[in-house]
Structure 1
Amino acid sequence: MTTSRRLSTVILPIRRWHDGGRPPWVRAEELGFHAAYTYDHLAWRTFRDGPWFGAVPTLTAAAAATTRMRLGTLVTSPNFRHPVTLAKDLITLDDVSDGRITLGIGAGGNGFDATTLRGSDEEPWTPRERADHFDEFVPLLDRLLSEPSVTHEGRFYKANEARNIPGCVQRPRLPFAVAATGPRGMRLAARHGQAWVTTGDPKLFEDGTAEQSVAAIGGQLSRLGAACEEAGRDVAGLDKILLSGFTPGSPLRSFDAFVDFAGTHFELGFTEIVVHWPEPDSVFDTDTKVFERIATEALSQLT
Structure 2
Amino acid sequence: MSVRLSTVILPYRRWHEEGRVAWQRAEELGFYTAYTYDHLSWRSFRDGPWFGAVPTLTAAAGVTERIRLGTLVTSPNFRHPVTLAKELISLDDISGGRVTLGIGAGGTGFDATALGQDPWSPLERADRFGEFVPLLDRLLTEDAVSYEGDFYSAHEARNIPGCVQRPRLPFAVAATGPRGLRLAARYGQAWVTTGDPKLYESGTPEQSRQALRDQVDKLGKACADASRDADAMDKVLLTGFTPDRGRPLQSLDAFVDFAGLHQELGFTEIVIHWPIPDSDFAADEGVFERIATEAVAQLA
Q: TM-score range by the shorter chain?
A: over 0.9
Distance in 2 of aligned mates of 1:281 and 1:150: 47
Counterpart in 1 of 2:31? 33
Return the offset for 1:216.
Answer: 0.3
- Residues in 1 aligned to 2:266 and 2:286: alpha-carbon distance in whole angstroms: 28
2:282 is equivalent to residue 300 of structure 1:
no
Deviating runs (4+, > 2 A) in structure 1?
Answer: none
- Who is 1:203 aligned against? 198
Counterparts of 1:1-303 in structure 2 under 5 Å? Answer: 3-119=1-117, 123-249=118-244, 250-303=247-300
Deviations 1:62-108 (A, max 9, x none): 00010000000000000000000000000000000000000000000
Assess if the C-alpha contact under 8 Å between 2:139 and 2:145 holds in 1: yes
Q: Is the contact made by 2:3 and 2:299 (CA closer than 8 Å) also made in structure 1?
A: no
Residue type at the aligned position of 2:47:
D
* Letter in structure 1 aligned against 2:124: E
TM-superposed deviation, 1:299:
1.1
- Cα-to-partner distance string for 1:147-184 (whole Å, 9 max, x where unaligned): 00000000000100000000000000000000000000
Aligned partner letter, 1:156: F
Distance 2:290 2:18 in 1: 22
Contact conserved, 2:146 with 2:154, CA < 8 A, in 1?
yes
How far is 1:253 from its partner?
1.4
- Give the drift of 1:15: 1.0
- Provide the rounded CA distance (Å) in 1 between the counterparts of 2:263 and 2:160: 39
1:206, CA displacement in angstroms? 1.2
CA drift of 1:4 comes to: 3.3
Partner amino acid, structure 1, of 2:288: F
Distance in structure 1 (CA, Å) of the matches to 2:201 and 2:272 = 18
Is the 8 Å Cα contact of residues 115 and 124 (structure 1) preserved in structure 2?
A: yes
TM-score, normalising length: structure 2: 0.98
Measured in 1, the distance between the counterparts of 2:219 and 2:299 equals 25
Q: Residues of 2 paired with 1:9 and 1:256: CA distance?
A: 18
RMSD (Å), alpha carbons = 0.7
CA distance in 2, matches of 1:58, 1:264: 33
Paired residues of 1:94 and 1:174 also in contact (CA < 8 A) = yes
Report the Cα distance in structure 1 between the residues aligned to 2:286 and 2:58, rounded to whole angstroms.
Answer: 28
Stretches of structure 1 that go unaligned for 5 or more consecutive residues are none
Unaligned runs of 5+ in 2: none
2-structure distance, mates of 1:274, 1:211? 19
Distance 1:234 1:61 in 2: 36
Identical amino acids, percent of aligned pairs: 74
Asked if structure 2 preserves the Cα contact closer than 8 Å seen for 1:144 and 1:150, the reply is yes
CA contact (8 A) 1:202 1:247 kept: yes
